[in-house]
With several copies, the nearest count.
Chain A
């Protein structure tokens, strides 16, 4: 019994236990002494009982089969009983060995699946970077947030002004458009803040800003930031070609191969 204690294992099923016992014998399944195997199996099941383990029904069924095989072995061939339903030539020993061989193959296959499972955990699929084919950028080199931010800075000067002055409208967008056009006609690179330098009210700032947006929309002016966080500059838009090319030359793309943009 002590031998069992050391080697005690829980088996998934009777076939698993039988395979283990065969392996312990270090013989080929086909050459195993079934009588001896039956004895060991039954001892094992007895042990499980003594240890008060739940014994699955399958173990008991297998134990019964093995007892039967064992008892048959003890009789001379011609006295072996033919069990009802057992066809001629169907030897229960052979049937058991066949089942064991089959089970072992699947157990081995399961082992291979397990290896593949472990390998797959380390197989990473390339997920290509997200590409987007955007229409080439409009002549808008500053994002809306830069603009909003800029306006915001100017508006701050008027936060304390009574908001009622909004209704005392003295400025029209068309007037401001004219002012801006005149200003940039004189020179390029007019600083954003210059447009608002003379503003006397929050309303005037807003109207000037709207005028500027309008001019951008009408492609009369372009705005650009010489460098990140630098002040925005406004210039006259280059003359529009008669038939604008479908794809205005984008800024020199660092990856000339593809006009792809990574998101």
Chain B
């Protein structure tokens, strides 16, 4: 009995994604409780060994090129179906329950946080050139980003970073899976001292000004943009 096969069978029958630790627990509990003599062999399986096996399995399923893959999302392993079969799976199991899509400003801010974490609001605003209070509220409420500490500078501003829910939402194994991660992380950030001189007023633009920036989903008709978007559009366009 191969470890690889056991791991595959366990993941195949799991109701939820499993971390290497959970897999190790299954192996060690089975060793303790089962009469199966083979089970004892896997009592003390090492994490590295498990990871190697999981990677091999994922590779095998990718090579087999069937309709499913073994993937790791936020550190937990799971079988997923290829996205092109979504229409039929949707018929079978119903629509996935997912919050609405993120707006363009939210995605931009999130990208900055993802690549540059941990960072302060002022740093985000420096890159985006606009206040981020509205979108940060959305991102925090959705649990995609969170406070991760405080910067050791005057005022000890809060530092933000992404959560595991961020990885899950985008189907990422880890932050190193972000596209072009190296390049984007390398862009030099301005010296932190400069941040402290940023006008506080800039970061805390009043809501009525914010509404204009975030609302208006690229209207091409000026009349409509002036008369309607200001009054009707919510701060976050729901369609995005």
A interface residue numbers (CB < 8 A to B):
5-16, 51-58, 61-62, 99, 101-103, 105-107, 109-114, 116-135, 138, 143-149, 152-153, 155-156, 159, 163, 166-170, 172-174, 177, 203, 206-207, 210, 213-214, 216-217, 254-260, 262-263
Binary contact track B118-132/A, C-beta < 8 Å → 1, others 0: 000000001111110
Q: Which of A56, A105, A213, A254 contacts B73 (CB 8 A)?
A: A254
The minimal Cβ–Cβ distance linking A233 to chain B, given in whole angstroms, is 18
Given contacts A110-B110, A117-B169, A213-B105, are A168 and B220 in contact (CB under 8 A)? yes
A120–B171 CB distance below 8 A:
yes
Which of A51, A135, A177, A214 gathers the greatest number of chain B CB atoms within 10 Å? Answer: A214
What are the 4 A-B residue pairs with the smallest beta carbon separation, nearest first?
Answer: A13-B130, A10-B216, A122-B86, A122-B83
Residues of B within 8 A of A8 (CB): 219-222, 225
B interface residue numbers (CB < 8 A to A):
12-17, 68-69, 71, 73-74, 78-86, 89-90, 93-94, 96-98, 100-105, 107-108, 110-112, 114-115, 126-131, 169-172, 178-180, 183-184, 186-188, 190, 201-202, 205, 208-222, 224-226, 228-230, 232-233, 237
List 17 additional A-B contacts (Cβ < 8 Å) besides A122-B83, A122-B86, A123-B171: A8-B220, A12-B105, A12-B213, A14-B129, A109-B115, A110-B107, A111-B107, A112-B179, A113-B107, A119-B83, A126-B79, A133-B94, A145-B180, A148-B184, A149-B179, A170-B220, A263-B171
Which of B79, B128, B212, B225 gathers the greatest number of chain A CB atoms within 10 Å? Answer: B128
- The answer for the CA separation of A46 and B98 in the assembled complex, in Å, is 41
Residues of A within 8 A of B215 (CB): 10, 172-174, 210, 214
The minimal Cβ–Cβ distance linking A62 to chain B, given in whole angstroms, is 7
Q: Which of B85, B108, B208 contacts A54 (CB 8 A)?
A: B208
The residue in chain A whose Cβ has the minimal distance to the Cβ of B237 is A217
Residues of A within 8 A of B187 (CB): 101-102, 105, 152, 155-156, 159
A146–B179 CB distance below 8 A:
yes
The residue in chain B whose Cβ has the minimal distance to the Cβ of A5 is B222
Given contacts A57-B202, A132-B98, A217-B237, are A126 and B218 in contact (CB under 8 A)? no
